[in-house]
Amino acid sequence: MESTALPVEEGVLLQFLHLCKPRVVALIVFTAVIGMFLAVPGMVAPRVLVGGTIGIFLVAAAAAAINCLVEQQIDALMARTRARGTARGTISSFQVLALASLTGGTGMALLYTQVNALTMWLTLATFVGYAIIYTVLLKPATPQNIVIGGASGAMPPVLGWAAVTGEVTADALLLFLIIFVWTPPHFWALALYRKKEYARAGIPMLPVTHGDEYTRLHVFLYTLILVAASLLPVASGLSGGLYAIGALILGGIFVWYAWQVWKHYTDAISRRTFTWSIWYLALLFAVMLVDHYFPQVI
């Protein structure tokens, strides 16, 4: 999701909140909560639900803030990120580190005391994967950054599943796979219409290194793989007919957008595809949840 402009006079705490990318984190937490509910036939224990939700939210927010801190010079060169306090220099590196440490540390403590140790360690690994491995190592080094680094972004439903069951099962990994395959077409749709900015910042995103036509084709191909992956929960028995219908409808719309990106590209089409990709993931997991509790609908 794209950042909004921030006025210079905003206070440190409000600037830090924007660095935490609350809209992005909201989608992360949403899929984590869905993972919790899918892991059990009934309701999730309130302590686990509340502690897990808040804990995952806080750690994800801290990881987002560290990402902004590391990329502050890059962000200053890009229209969608140059309004961030780190890019403008209106919040110091010490302030970001201190607030991120407090936020992330509180989240880890909640996960350990209110949920379980496995969820805490998996969440810590996700933090390291995004804030360090992806941001510091992969993003500036390879056009496959979003493919490899997408593993950390695909972890939330696994975290939710582990929070409830204390283990990671094959079904949890299917949820991981859906988001993992979703990430490249989602992000490359953005990268296509932001290519010049990534090039100016020296980031080797796929459109910069391999060109638009190659990237547009891969948006389409990954979307086809995504639709196939989205049906695996039906094959495994995790989800039923209602979800299958919803996945096919939502996937069909995504494929149509991806086809437009490939064959009839404009920046406007790419923007719409990026926006739809966000709605797609949220709606797909929502349908999965409804199917879980109301399988008799179909």
CA 256, 158, 136: angle at the middle one, nearest 5?
80
The 3-state secondary structure of 254-267, one letter per residue? HHHHHHHHHHCCCH
Contacts of 171 by beta carbon, 8 Å cutoff, 6+ apart: 38, 39, 161, 233, 236, 238
Domain holding 50, by residue range, is 1-168
pLDDT at 213: 96
Q: Are residues 253 and 187 in the same domain?
A: yes
pLDDT at 233: 97
pLDDT at 295: 77
Q: Are residues 270 and 156 in the same domain?
A: no
pLDDT at 147: 87
CATH number of the domain that residue 113 is part of? 1.10.357.140
Q: Which residues does the chain have with pLDDT short of 50?
A: 1-8
pLDDT at 297: 62
pLDDT at 298: 61
Q: Are residues 78 and 151 in the same domain?
A: yes
Q: Are residues 22 and 51 in the same domain?
A: yes
pLDDT at 20: 93
Of 136, 126, 99, 79, the C-alpha closest to 18 is 99
pLDDT in tens, 81-103: 888 888 898 999 999 999 999 99
pLDDT at 7: 47
pLDDT at 26: 94
Q: Are residues 29 and 140 in the same domain?
A: yes
Q: Are residues 1 and 132 in the same domain?
A: yes
